[in-house]
Amino acid sequence: MSHYTTLQQATASHRQWLLDTPVIRRALAGDIDRETYLAFLGQAYHHVRQTVPLMMACGARLPERLEWLRGALVEYIEEEYGHQAWILDDIRALGGDADAVAAARPAPATELMVRYVRDVIAHDNPVGFFGMVHVLEGTSTALATQAAEKIRDGAGLPAEAFRYLESHGSLDIGHLAFFEEQINRLESPEDLQAIIDTANMLYRLYGALFRTLRQDTDTARHHEELSHALV
């Protein structure tokens, strides 16, 4: 069995928990309003803007035995750089306040996602970063290819407000094939386990992000809601 198949099997239950999130199910049915879509874009901005810095941190921490993986990261960085600007453009196309989104602090689940992966890179196994790739690229592909058109048509939203989602539909399909190739080249069981562990945590945190969209911004209440969303 390939490493990628092992990863898929070892994360299946956590992936399903994410996909069972009510807002994702509504998105796949096209039942999303402007405010919910804006809330999604706002949180997407805050984790997407951290993608390249996290990749750079991962590349810096990889051991010499994984030089080939560092090279793959260089290619990946070139493709991912600047995508947060697409999200701000989409927010503007919806009539939202992109400057306010950029200046705001991310929701707790979003912040925890980024901080967790940063900690894995710095203090555990930097290869664990690819667990985040597994979660975000895979989920983005499902949402982008299946939900973007339905959301746009269902809510009557402008076509120019979907650059981020629709661009990632085609981009992430290619990225997933590239990702599978890199995972299957890994030789260390510890590296694969680091990816599995990070992916399972990210599925829970990303699911919590979706479960807390548009909720009260009061910090104490939001953290209490987050604890329930993780269960």
- Report the CATH number at residue 101: 1.20.910.10
CA 94 to CA 157: how far, in whole Å? Answer: 7
Provide the domain count of the chain.
1
- Please state the pTM of the whole predicted model: 0.87
CA 197 to CA 135: how far, in whole Å? Answer: 11
Tell me the per-residue pLDDT of 29-53, one tens digit each, with 9 for 90 and over: 878 889 999 999 999 999 999 999 9
CA 23 to CA 176: how far, in whole Å? Answer: 24
Residue located via tokens 């939001």 = 222
Q: Nearest CA to 131 among 116, 141, 110? A: 116
> What average pLDDT score do residues 136-150 get?
73
pLDDT band with cut points at 50, 70 and 90 for residue 231: low
What letter represents residue 51's amino acid?
T
Q: Which two tokens mark 39?
A: 């809330």
What letter represents residue 137's amino acid?
E
pLDDT score recorded for residue 230: 54
Q: Is the pLDDT of residue 170 over 60?
A: no
* Longest Cα–Cα distance in the chain: 51
User: From residue 106, how far is each of 19, 134, 171, 204, 206 by CA, in Å?
Assistant: 22, 22, 25, 17, 13
pLDDT score recorded for residue 175: 67
What is the extent of the structural domain holding 123?
3-229
56-70, 174-188, 205-219: lowest mean pLDDT where? 205-219
Q: Is 155 or 210 the better-scoring residue by pLDDT?
A: 210
By CB neighbour count within 10 A (0-12 exposed, 13-18 middle, 19+ buried), where does 194 fall?
A: buried
